Every structure is written in structure tokens, then in C-alpha cells.
Amino acid sequence: MAKKKEQTALIYKGRPLVKRGNEVIYGDINDKYYIHIRILETEVEKDLELASEVVVSLMEGVKIIKKAEREGIYRALDIGAFWLEDAMENN
């Protein structure tokens, strides 16, 4: 019997970070709150495709609690991580 391969996700500030197509989920969608990032535009720099324009949303299930546009994935993750921590602490 073959061993089942263990799946690993990227971890950012202690929470999972999963990308599928032009969407990124930060946090666990089974928790009350999570962050949804949608990549609107990308730029190519030295053969690397980088997100240049993104929309970040704090989600409660399918309901959007907060939403903002940011330049780049780092800025989106920065504000998203702050929103998520704040929402989870005040839950």
C-alpha cells in the first residue's frame, strides 16, 4: 500500500495562504473570517509575473465585511493580515 503524500500549504504569519488562478485565500475558510484577494492586473518583470493591482476583502462566509484596492500582493497581504487578526481577536 502506497503512502499518501502529505499536502503542505504556504504559511504567512501563522495562517495558510492558497492561490488558485487569480484568487488567493489567506486564512482558513472554515473559520468565521478569512481574507480573499483577487488579482486584477499583472506585470512581467525579468520573466516573473507579478500582481500589480489587487482587491483584498475581509470575508465572513460569503459576506464582504471590508474591501480595498492595493498595488501589489504584499500590500494586500499586509492590510489583510491586520484585518484578519483584528476580526479574530474581536470575535
For the chain, the DSSP string reads -PPPPPP--EEETTEEEEEETTEEEES-TTSSEEEEEEEEEEEEETTEEEEEEEEEEEEETTEEEEEEEESSHHHHHHHHHHHHHHHHHT-
22-38 residue pLDDT tens: 999 999 999 999 999 99
Stated pTM of the model: 0.86
pLDDT at 91: 76
* Residue corresponding to grid cell 504584499: 74
CB 26 within 8 A of CB 17: yes
All structural domains of the chain with their residue ranges: 24-89
Of residues 4 and 12, the one with the higher pLDDT is: 12
Per-residue pLDDT at 5 exceeds 60: no
Torsion of CA 70, 72, 77, 82, to 10 degrees: -40
* Residue corresponding to grid cell 500582481: 51
40-91 residue pLDDT tens: 999 999 999 999 999 999 999 999 999 999 999 999 999 999 999 999 998 7
